[in-house]
Every structure is written in structure tokens, then in C-alpha cells.
């Protein structure tokens, strides 16, 4: 194993830090407030300079729900700012302390004291006055906390005394929790260093305060590791609303800001990070913290992980060189080169012993798409070792998948292999693998292949068979392409080869595919002239007309307007015979159940359907197939004729009936009737008052009409009289 500090590219949504909502805890109850000229107040403008210390006990923070962590800000609640001016050099410091009360006559100091805000010129306002820290302050969860506030006038721009801001104060605490010294004049310029015993204000009252905490993520884990990559994830802090994280990693032992060297770091809005460009068989330390914007938590970590073997390393089973592997193992190792522009190869150099039911599978690439060796199982001695196995895909990686069953047969010592890395040979260029089609439709297809090692780009061409080039590109930079201008029912050939970085070209790899036949041709109507133009070879050879039809199919759709027999008339024809067939569209777009109408090479007419007495059903969709008997060019024009309603089906003078309303009037038919000399002739005189007039040619039918409801079933009930009623 060798290590070289590489340019590390780290993935995982590398964005600028976004705010993470800090968790706020309030210490104190609003039961009192100061006056414009009284103390304590964190905004003591009544005198030009002020130094104050406020004590908040650990037990109070714990009772409020706070736990150890970084404090990123604090705030005070202001009730009034009448005649309150600017506070020059306003500064906030925090320190940890063991004292439980502020004794009189002195000021607290501790090595932990830290300036967290200012100095700035600050003017308080009514409401919550938020002070975000320039650096987080760590509270250990056990120590008491002192907040020190100071402001002092600048000598050249001294601010005159105004009023104190009136703020919310806590109830009487029962211990000395406040200390204030305020002064005017030149002494005010050095008030922040004052250590005397003089004091102002009420010692057992202090401002109500809000502390903002930022907590670290939890449950760090390694999700996936290869020779050169790692995926890590974590869970949001137990309190707070995660929206951003910073992460960092280095070699084993690395601690951000204190030990080792950072290899890479970044920011993410999701609880995960992906690292690439790592070195094989190397231990790394990974850290992550919450970004609460402003401020951040402490670092969580380290979580250490070891990358898989890489160039010049050994790859063995889990037992290593001296022991056998275990039972019920199932794992995948992605072994990749940690040297740029190299591909890995694997060679077994000691006998292999893998028990029955246990298998080692090898794949060409960083996934399991392209097998290199189906399964290594059993015993292989010297001279019979499989391999070596060489990678040809762009990743340069070998993927190994090992499984063992629950039985240990003894003597299952596993394997040891060496991993070697080499650049692309100067005289070699690898042909593409896994060329395949997807989403094949009437006019579209997707084609893809694996990216190959050493490829600069690819050359491809799409041919409509037998020899028409539709698309070609001599330097295509992808491995996926979509064509959406194809023809249905057509044969195609797609070929692709690799153009390599060494100037060589691979062999062509070819795939044949056919678009499906599409029966959904244009709709046609009666007495409409329809043009048939076809050439080349078709996909089907329907023999229902008693002869082969190898030409390219052309389809039309026809909805029968009436239940009757029609005529199909070929008006013009050139170039050879065309067989005309039809089928019920509900039978599907396939080669089955077609019915021959006739074939034509000159104008002519045939019945549709061709069987005497047969009819097409009104309202039903039919496919009309025009199938040439030659692959040469043919042109014909046809039309469907005789489309009028049958004479006996003409519903003239239909009697209107209403759904759900009885028809009580007498209805008569003259089936078998003669002419009574005492009655008027019904064809010329309707004075007899009978309902149900009819035509001479329909003298056996009485028509009714009604409006059907929007949905459902209509049932007709009759109360017939007469021997001829159905």
C-alpha cells in the first residue's frame, strides 16, 4: 500500500452553510424591571461607562433543558428605551465559574473568560435584543456561568450619559447574582478594567436572559467504503432543527484545529457526505458539526474507517492470509485504483479453496452490471488458478461479491490475490460493453452502454435497414442517447465504437432492434380517398389472402357508421398487388384474426366484409391493413363506399318515448295487413288517428326513439297484444 496526498474531491451537496435553528433556553422569570436610572441593566446608559457581571447557575440551565454544548448567542428583553443613546465599545464576555454567589468587594475572573461579542457601538431597542457571538462559547454542563458586560466612551467621541434601557429582570434569586459599577467622566474610559469594590444596583436581581445553544449531530456511521470512496451519514442533533452541517476529515488521528492535517472539508444541507479520491488500505478520521448560522456546534467524531485494497495491495477473504473465512457471509467489495488514469487487475497466486455452496463473483467495473467471472467455487491449485482478471470499464474498478452458506466444511481457506494497476496500453482500445436498448416505442428508443477505460469519446451510427444512415456522430461524449424520429414497424441497426485517449479505435459493437407495428393509422370516413404509399420490407406476412405479403404494412382506422355491408373500391393502382385486410380493433394490433377483403393491382371493388350477408357493426372500430405483395414501391388510392343507412333502418316518424314514463297509447304495425275499403289508405290519409306511420319499404317496422341517461342500463318492458310481437 502506498499513500500520496491527492486532490480530494468531496461530494454531498457542497453548498454554503445554511442556518440551523439554534435551541434557545430562557433563565429567569419576568417579575420585575429596572428604572431609567437604576441597575442592574445590561444597557446602562445612565452613566457613560459601566461594567456588570451576572451569575447564572448550572442547575438553572439544566432545569431549563440545556445540556453541555456551544453557546452561540444570547439576548435580553427590553421594555423601554426612552432617551437611551448609543453604548460605545459595547462588549460581552463569558466565563465558567465554581462560585454560587457573587461576593461583595471583588470581580470574578477565570482562565475560561472569552470575549464573545464586540466591542461595537450598540443602541438597544424595544423587544428582544439578540447578540450573536463572534465565536461559540462551550458550556461544560456542570459549571456556573458568568456573563460580563461592559461599555465605555471613546475619548475623542465620548457619548454623554443618557438613560438606562428598562429590561425584564428576574425575581429575587436568594443569592448575589448581580454586580454593577457605573461611572461618568474620564474614569468611564477605563471602566472595563475596574476591580474596585464600589457597586451599583440590586445584587439579588439580574436580567432575564436567553441562551442559544448549538448541538452536534449524533449517530455517525459509515455507509459504504471502496478503495477510493466512502459514504458517511449522521442524525440531526437531539434538539434543534438541522439545516446545515460542516464536515472535515484527515488521516487517522486527525482532530479539526488541533491535530493532523485536514485533507478535505465541506458543507451540506443533508445529513450525509460522499468522499472520493481516497487511497487504498488507509485509515481516515471523519468529523462533522452543526452549523447554526451564526455559530456552530462542537465537532462530533471521530468515526474512523479503512478503505479497501487498491494498487499493489493484497485482496483476501475475511480470514486473511492465515485463517479461513466465516459462515453466512455476504459482502461486496469495490476495488478501485488509487492512481490516476489506471485500471486495476487481479491475479490469484496461491491455491484457492472455496467450499461447496460458497461463491466469489467478479465484475468489470464499480457495480455488478458486467460479469468478469461468473463464480469461483471449489479448489484451484497451482497451474489452474483462474485469471488474471483485467478491468476495461471507465472506473478502472473490479467489484467482488462473496457469499458463504451456513456450513463450514473445513479446509475452506479462501483466497489471496494481488491487485495491480496499469494505464491504458498504447496499442489497445476496449470495445463497449452492455450495449442495450430501452423504452422502445413506435418512434423512439433509448440506447446506452458502459463507459470504457481510456475512452475520450465514442463514434456511432444509426442505420434504417437495409442501408439508410439516419444519424451518426464521430465524437459523441456520452454513453446514453435517445432517438425520437423513428418509424413504426421498422428494422434498425445501431453501431458504436470507442475512440481512446491513445489515438486507437475499438472494434464496432452492433445491436439490431425493431420498432413495434402501430395499427393506429389515420381515421378514414366513407367516400374519402385514402392514399397508400409503401416500399421496403414489412414486419408481418399475413397470408389470409392466400399469398405472401412481404411489403411494408400501412394501416387505417374505420368506425362503421351503420350496421351493414360496405364496398372497398380501389380507385387507382401502380407498382404491384396490395392485399387489403380488416379486423375488429378489439382483437389487438397483432398478426392474428385478419380477414382478407381482396387484393388489387388495378382499380376494382370488393365487398367489405367479403362474406355475403356479413356486416360491420355500427360504432365499432376496425383496422384496415394495406399489405403490399412486393417490397418495391407501390401506390394506390382506395375509398369505402355504400355507407348510407339500410333502407329498413331509416327511423323516420319514430315515436318518442320517455325513460321511466309509460307509453300508454296503442301502437300498430301493418305486418301482413290488407287494405280495408272502409278505412282510409294509411299511405295517403292519416285521419284515422292511429300512431306509428311508416314508409312503404319499411312496412314491417315501427320505430321508437328516446334519450338515454348519462350512464347505466335501460330496460324496455312491453305489454304486447298480437301474434307477431317479439
Higher confidence at residue 662 or residue 637? 637
d(C-alpha 506, C-alpha 452), whole Å: 10
Give the model's confidence band at 268: pLDDT under 50 very low, under 70 low, under 90 confident, else very high.
very high
Are 436-514 and 523-641 in the same CATH fold?
Answer: no
pTM more than 0.85:
no
Beta pairing class for 69-80 and 209-214: antiparallel
Chain mean pLDDT for the chain? 88
List, for residues 603-631, the tens digit of each pLDDT value.
Answer: 999 999 998 888 999 889 999 999 999 99
Q: Is 120 exposed, middle or buried (0-12, 13-18, 19+ CB in 10 A)?
A: middle
The CATH fold assigned to 10-18+214-306 is Immunoglobulin-like (2.60.40)
- Per-residue pLDDT averaged across 476-499, rounded? 96
Q: Is the pLDDT of residue 446 over 90?
A: yes
Give the model's confidence band at 320: pLDDT under 50 very low, under 70 low, under 90 confident, else very high.
confident
Higher confidence at residue 323 or residue 362? 362
Q: In whole angstroms, how far apart are CA 350 and each of 316, 324, 347, 707?
A: 11, 14, 10, 89
d(C-alpha 80, C-alpha 117), whole Å: 23
Report angle CA 631, 636, 639 to the nearest 5 degrees: 135
CATH node for 314-422: 2.60.120.290
pLDDT for the residue numbered 682: 57
Spatial contact of 91 and 115, defined as CB atoms under 8 Å apart = yes
d(C-alpha 585, C-alpha 532), whole Å: 20
Q: What percent of the chain has pLDDT over 70?
A: 88
- Per-residue pLDDT averaged across 101-105, rounded? 88
pLDDT for the residue numbered 686: 58
Give the model's confidence band at 304: pLDDT under 50 very low, under 70 low, under 90 confident, else very high.
very high
What φ, ψ does residue 58 adopt, rounded to 5°?
-60, -40
pLDDT for the residue numbered 240: 75
DSSP structural state of residue 58: H
Give the model's confidence band at 421: pLDDT under 50 very low, under 70 low, under 90 confident, else very high.
very high
pLDDT for the residue numbered 290: 94
254 torsion bin: left (phi>0), alpha (psi -120 to 50), beta (else): beta
Architecture of the domain spanning 436-514: Sandwich (2.60)
Give domain limits for the chain.
10-18+214-306, 29-207, 314-422, 436-514, 523-641, 648-726
d(C-alpha 88, C-alpha 22), whole Å: 28
Give the model's confidence band at 407: pLDDT under 50 very low, under 70 low, under 90 confident, else very high.
confident
Q: In whole angstroms, how far apart are CA 286 and each of 15, 70, 283?
A: 19, 20, 10
The CATH fold assigned to 523-641 is Jelly Rolls (2.60.120)
Amino acid at each position: 500500500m502506498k499513500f500520496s496526498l491527492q486532490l480530494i474531491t468531496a461530494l454531498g451537496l457542497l453548498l454554503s452553510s445554511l442556518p440551523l435553528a439554534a435551541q434557545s433556553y430562557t433563565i429567569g422569570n419576568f417579575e420585575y424591571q429596572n428604572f431609567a436610572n437604576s441597575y442592574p441593566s445590561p444597557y446602562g446608559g445612565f452613566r457613560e461607562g459601566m461594567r456588570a457581571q451576572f451569575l447564572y447557575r448550572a442547575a438553572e440551565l439544566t432545569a431549563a433543558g440545556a445540556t453541555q454544548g456551544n453557546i452561540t448567542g444570547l439576548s435580553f428583553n427590553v421594555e423601554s428605551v426612552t432617551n437611551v443613546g448609543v453604548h460605545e465599545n459595547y462588549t460581552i464576555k463569558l466565563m465558567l465559574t465554581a462560585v454560587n454567589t457573587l461576593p461583595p468587594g471583588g470581580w470574578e475572573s477565570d482562565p475560561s473568560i472569552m470575549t464573545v461579542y464586540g466591542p461595537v457601538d450598540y443602541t438597544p431597542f424595544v423587544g428582544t435584543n439578540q447578540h450573536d457571538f463572534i465565536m461559540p462559547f462551550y458550556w461544560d454542563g456542570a459549571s456556573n456561568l458568568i456573563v460580563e458586560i461592559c461599555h465605555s466612551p471613546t475619548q475623542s467621541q465620548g457619548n454623554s450619559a443618557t438613560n438606562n434601557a428598562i429590561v425584564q429582570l428576574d425575581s429575587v434569586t436568594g443569592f448575589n447574582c448581580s454586580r454593577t459599577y457605573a461611572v461618568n467622566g474620564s474614569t468611564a474610559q477605563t471602566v472595563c478594567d475596574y476591580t474596585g469594590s464600589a457597586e451599583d444596583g440590586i445584587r439579588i436581581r439580574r436580567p432575564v436572559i436567553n441562551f442559544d445553544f448549538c448541538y452536534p449531530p449524533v449517530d455517525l456511521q459509515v455507509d459504504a467504503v471502496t478503495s477510493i470512496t466512502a459514504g458517511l451519514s449522521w442524525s440531526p442533533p437531539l434538539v434543534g432543527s438541522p439545516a446545515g452541517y460542516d464536515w472535515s476529515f484527515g488521516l487517522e488521528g486527525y482532530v479539526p484545529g488541533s491535530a493532523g492535517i485536514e485533507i478535505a472539508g465541506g458543507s451540506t444541507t443533508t445529513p450525509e457526505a460522499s468522499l472520493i479520491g481516497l487511497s487504498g488500505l488507509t485509515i481516515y478520521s471523519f468529523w462533522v458539526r452543526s452549523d447554526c448560522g451564526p455559530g456552530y456546534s462542537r465537532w462530533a467524531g471521530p468515526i474512523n474507517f479503512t478503505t479497501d485494497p487498491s494498487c499493489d495491495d493484497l485482496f483476501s477473504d475475511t480470514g486473511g492470509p492465515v485463517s479461513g473465512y466465516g459462515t453466512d457471509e455476504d459482502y461486496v467489495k469495490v476495488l478501485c485504483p488509487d492512481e490516476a488514469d489506471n485500471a486495476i487487475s487481479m491475479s490469484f497466486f496461491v491455491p484457492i479453496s472455496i467450499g461447496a455452496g460458497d461463491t466469489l463473483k467478479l465484475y468489470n467495473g464499480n457495480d455488478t452490471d458486467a460479469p468478469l467471472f461468473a463464480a469461483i467455487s471449489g479448489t484451484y491449485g497451482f497451474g489452474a488458478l483462474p485469471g488474471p482478471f483485467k478491468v476495461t470499464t471507465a472506473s478502472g474498478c473490479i467489484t467482488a461479491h462473496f457469499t458463504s452458506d451456513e456450513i463450514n466444511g473445513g479446509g475452506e481457506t479462501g483466497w489471496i490475490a494481488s491487485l495491480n494497476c496499469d494505464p491504458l496500453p498504447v496499442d489497445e482500445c476496449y470495445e463497449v460493453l452492455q450495449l442495450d436498448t430501452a423504452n422502445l416505442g413506435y418512434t423512439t428508443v433509448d440506447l446506452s452502454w458502459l463507459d470504457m477505460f481510456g475512452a475520450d469519446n465514442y463514434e456511432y451510427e444509426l442505420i434504417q435497414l437495409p442501408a439508410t444512415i439516419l444519424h451518426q456522430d464521430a465524437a459523441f461524449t456520452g454513453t446514453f442517447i435517445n432517438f425520437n424520429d423513428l418509424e413504426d414497424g421498422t428494422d434498425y441497426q445501431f453501431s458504436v465504437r470507442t475512440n481512446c485517449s491513445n489515438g486507437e479505435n475499438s472494434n464496432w459493437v452492433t445491436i439490431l432492434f425493431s420498432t413495434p407495428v402501430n395499427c393506429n393509422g389515420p381515421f378514414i370516413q366513407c367516400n374519402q380517398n385514402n392514399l397508400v404509399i409503401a416500399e421496403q420490407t414489412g414486419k408481418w406476412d399475413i397470408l389470409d389472402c392466400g399469398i405472401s405479403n412481404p411489403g411494408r404494412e400501412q394501416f387505417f382506422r374505420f368506425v362503421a357508421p351503420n350496421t351493414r355491408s360496405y364496398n372497398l373500391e380501389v380507385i387507382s393502382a401502380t407498382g404491384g398487388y396490395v392485399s387489403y385486410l380488416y379486423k375488429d380493433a378489439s382483437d389487438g394490433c397483432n398478426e392474428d384474426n385478419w380477414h382478407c377483403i381482396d387484393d388489387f393491382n388495378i382499380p376494382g371493388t370488393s365487398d367489405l366484409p367479403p362474406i355475403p350477408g356479413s356486416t360491420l357493426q355500427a360504432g365499432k372500430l376496425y383496422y384496415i391493413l394495406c399489405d403490399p405483395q412486393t417490397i418495391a414501391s407501390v401506390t394506390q388510392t382506395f375509398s369505402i363506399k355504400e355507407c348510407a343507412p339500410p333502407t329498413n333502418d331509416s327511423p323516420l316518424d319514430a315515436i318518442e318515448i320517455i325513460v321511466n314514463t309509460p307509453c300508454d297509447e296503442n301502437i300498430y304495425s301493418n305486418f301482413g295487413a290488407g287494405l280495408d275499403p272502409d278505412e282510409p289508405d294509411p299511405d295517403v290519409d292519416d285521419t284515422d288517428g292511429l300512431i306509428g306511420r311508416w314508409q312503404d319499404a319499411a312496412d314491417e317496422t315501427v320505430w321508437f326513439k328516446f334519450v338515454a341517461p348519462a350512464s347505466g342500463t335501460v330496460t324496455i318492458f312491453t305489454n304486447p297484444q298480437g301474434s307477431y310481437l317479439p
